[in-house]
Amino acid sequence: MKIMVAVKRVIDYAVKIRVKSDKTGVEMNNVKMSMNPFCEIALEEALRIKEAGFATEVIAVSMGPSQCIDTLRTGLAMGADRAIHVDTSTSSSSSSATTTLNPLSVAKLLKKLVDLEKPGLLILGKQAIDDDCNQTGQMVAGLLKWPQGTFASKVILDKEKQVATVEREVDGGLETLCLDLPAVITTDLRLNQPRYATLPNIMKAKSKVIKKVTLEELGVEIKPDLEIVQVTEPPKRKAGVIVSSVDELIDKLKNEAHVI
């Protein structure tokens, strides 16, 4: 069985985000980029499933400009067997397609790749930390007409029955789903702790060939259906203060914050 894992290139979680002067988005130039943390968890789970003998190959895929190759090389260094880059910058459509790759567009591209590669399992992070959409996994499952297990905190595969048991965290506690394979799974933070890529594997990944495909080859046309009107920073707030007693807290809430 093949496992396909979608990985996304995002601004590193430790970077302080800066809004562009024209307020059209966030500053991307000279900013450290990394693999989306939820995608790292998805890839780690795929690698563990393969190491347990339930899969024969792990394929990492990413959509976007040529810089996404760096993210795919990270995936190869972690242990992925192959990598596929869908280069959106070579599209004959408008140049904005690269920066407006919405969840539905990604889902359509993933469906095409799944149709070509025929994996038994598609694993994604539940969301990306840049847009927090949490939509792609659900959309691609709908397009494929595959069962889905979202926000997975535990995954168990039964190779003989071709079934995946997914434990997911919900507001009321834990929910357990039984999915017939092939299926789509999106990962939550508590599923695992991603491994670090070793230096030898990082060096090996640099020489590995990454397959490149274009939107035209996949037959997918990207039509931006959302427009970002304005991006602004959160309003500045006063620094918090430490109070020494309940009476002092009540006094500040009443006379300074005017909330009581």
Q: What total number of domains does the chain contain?
A: 1
In a domain, 71, yes or no: yes
**What are the contacts of 25-31 at 24+ separation with CB within 8 A?**
25/99, 25/228, 25/231, 26/231
In a domain, 249, yes or no: no
In a domain, 251, yes or no: no
Distance, in Å, from the CA atom of 25 to the CA atom of 7, rounded to the nearest integer, reads 22
**Structural domain containing residue 157:** 2-231
Angle at 95 between CA 232 and CA 206, to 5 degrees: 95
Question: What local confidence, expressed as pLDDT, does residue 92 receive?
Answer: 46
Comparing 177 with 24, which gets the higher pLDDT?
Answer: 177
Distance, in Å, from the CA atom of 78 to the CA atom of 44, rounded to the nearest integer, reads 8
Question: What local confidence, expressed as pLDDT, does residue 257 receive?
Answer: 82
State the average pLDDT over residues 126-145.
94
In a domain, 255, yes or no: no
Residue 233 has pLDDT above 60, yes or no: yes
In a domain, 153, yes or no: yes
- H/E stretch holding 59 reads strand 57-64
Question: What local confidence, expressed as pLDDT, does residue 239 receive?
Answer: 83
pTM: 0.84
Residues in the chain: 260
State the average pLDDT over residues 86-107.
68
Question: What local confidence, expressed as pLDDT, does residue 38 receive?
Answer: 97
CATH number of the domain bearing residue 45? 3.40.50.620
In a domain, 24, yes or no: yes
In a domain, 256, yes or no: no
Question: What local confidence, expressed as pLDDT, does residue 98 receive?
Answer: 47
Question: What local confidence, expressed as pLDDT, does residue 192 receive?
Answer: 96
State the average pLDDT over residues 209-219.
93
Comparing 185 with 27, which gets the higher pLDDT?
Answer: 185
State the average pLDDT over residues 222-246.
85
In a domain, 243, yes or no: no
pLDDT band at residue 259 using 50, 70 and 90 as cut-offs: confident
Query: Minimal CA–CA distance to 59: which of 4, 107, 140?
Result: 4
State the average pLDDT over residues 8-26.
89
